[in-house]
A and B are shown apart, each in its own frame.
Chain A
Amino acid sequence: MKAAVPLSYKPKLTQRRRGPMKRIAVLMLGVMIFLMSGCTPAVHKDLKPTGYVNDFANVLSLQTKGKLESDLLNYKKTTTNEVVVVTVDSLDGQDIADFANHLARKWGIGTKEKNNGVLILVVKDTGKRRIEVGRGLEGVLPDATAKSILLETRPQFKNRQYDEGVSLLVEKVVLATKGEYKAPPTEEQRFIAWFISLAWWEKVLFVIGALILLCLVIAALGSDSGSAIVGAFIGGALGGDDSGGGGFGGFGGGDFGGGGASD
């Protein structure tokens, strides 16, 4: 009988000692969760852009992905428009327009000055698609056009031919947005334009000057010190042009105002 008392006491004692600590711990945890929930409005899985084609649902063939990626990179270089493809498995019941708008703005598709981005979103489980159009392209790709592009490509997605469907979507979006912006001319293009703008005798003078320079270079190459200087010049000119490789650098920070269409 006597032994039963300390036995039943022991847990009580430990409970009493741990009680406040536990409560404080729980409180702190609660405060932490509260603070954290204040920082991030919604729990979300972070999607990071991998390039112009982001096939998170794995529905595209490698070949299609490679082709679209290089096409869209080229398109960006000539027009500065950024057209981005995203495929996802599921939206877990979220509204496709909401999702597309938030993702497009988070990634900042399109340039900051022109807001010329387009997001093509394909959801695998529901078969829904959306074309989200940046503020700067709403004029050339109005909602009605976006909708008709989606309707025209509906059969491909119904038959789950994603390669064909996505390629067609991209093609039509590119066709619609093509004329809106032009990339600033490159050095070579600027030079050619400048040369064409010269009068005929200026052209002749320029060519003669260039020939004299070439002769000088060739003569310099004959001597040791001269060839070293010329070599350094050529090396510098070539070296300045190499671009760093590596991961995807991201988009230009374009804004989206909810334009586009879903189907």
Chain B
Amino acid sequence: MRMVGMVLGGLVLFFLFITFVVVSYGISKHNEIVRLDNAVAKRAGYVNSALQRRYDLIPNLVATVKAYAAHERGTFEAVAKARAAVGQFTVTPQMLANPEMLKKFQAAQGELSSALSRLMVVSERYPDLKANQNFLELQAQLEGTENRIKVERDNYNTAVEAFNNCIGQFPGNIFAGGRTEKPMFQLTTPDAQNAPQVKF
């Protein structure tokens, strides 16, 4: 009887121990998932501010170009339309997590990018405009803004990848708590695919 009691007691202790290990592992895994989820949200914020920056820059840019190249009506209209289309989206982490909305949003942003690049091409034809100090500054700002958007999109994708890996792989998927994989930004402009690999 005593032997049986000891064995039973040992077994109970053993299972308690196992339960403890599993629960504490689960808690830490769950916390990790929450942390990664928050990191994605933070990165989404950075993407937003980069996009917002471009959005705010446009009226100034258009006004400056207009002063020198008033009859390029089609180009200005295209920019205004693309900007209005982008303005209809309220960018939130939830919106970015919705694959279909993200796709539409990206299409609108892509449209705006190409309208803006057409605007910059137009400006090449006006030497006075190209020499204008205000325009040069706006041009530098636009360049910098496009670069920021790219950097923040990359960062967002990296954060999403880490999150998706964590909730998709074996132990993590148990503790995901209903979280689903998030979509990433895709390359939208055709020439972006030919961009050289990043290495240093």
Contact = CB atoms under 8 A, between A and B. Distances in A.
B140 A144 contact: yes
Given A147-B136, A257-B46, A99 B198 contact: yes
Contacts of B73: none
Interface stretch (B11-19, B33-41, B79-87, B142-150): B142-150
A41 B195 CA distance: 15
B200 A143 contact: no
Nearest to A143: B144
Interface in B165-200: 195-200
B137 A94 contact: no
B23 to A, nearest CB: 31
A50 to B, nearest CB: 15
Given A257-B151, A258-B152, A144 B141 contact: yes
Contact of B147 (A42, A94, A258): A258
Interface string B63-80: 000000000000000000
Interface residues of A, number: 30
B141 A45 contact: no
A103 B151 CA distance: 13
Contacts of B152: 257-258
Main secondary structure of the interface of A (DSSP, over half): mixed
Contacts of A94: 196-200
Interface in A211-263: 256-262
Contacts, number: 77
Contacts of B149: 258
Nearest to B140: A147
A140 interface: no
Interface string B119-139: 000000000000000001110
Interface string A83-113: 0000000001111011101110010000000
Interface in A46-89: 47
Contacts of B147: 97, 101, 258-260
Given A144-B141, A147-B136, A95 B196 contact: yes
A43 interface: yes
B150 to A, nearest CB: 7
A142 interface: yes
A148 B148 CA distance: 19
A259 B148 contact: yes
Nearest to B149: A258
A93 B46 contact: no
Interface of B: 46, 50, 136-138, 140-141, 143-145, 147-152, 195-200
5 contacts: A144-B136, A146-B140, A147-B143, A257-B46, A258-B147
Given A94-B197, A258-B151, 16 more contacts: A42-B197, A42-B198, A42-B199, A94-B200, A95-B198, A99-B200, A143-B140, A144-B138, A148-B140, A257-B46, A257-B148, A257-B151, A258-B50, A258-B147, A258-B150, A260-B144
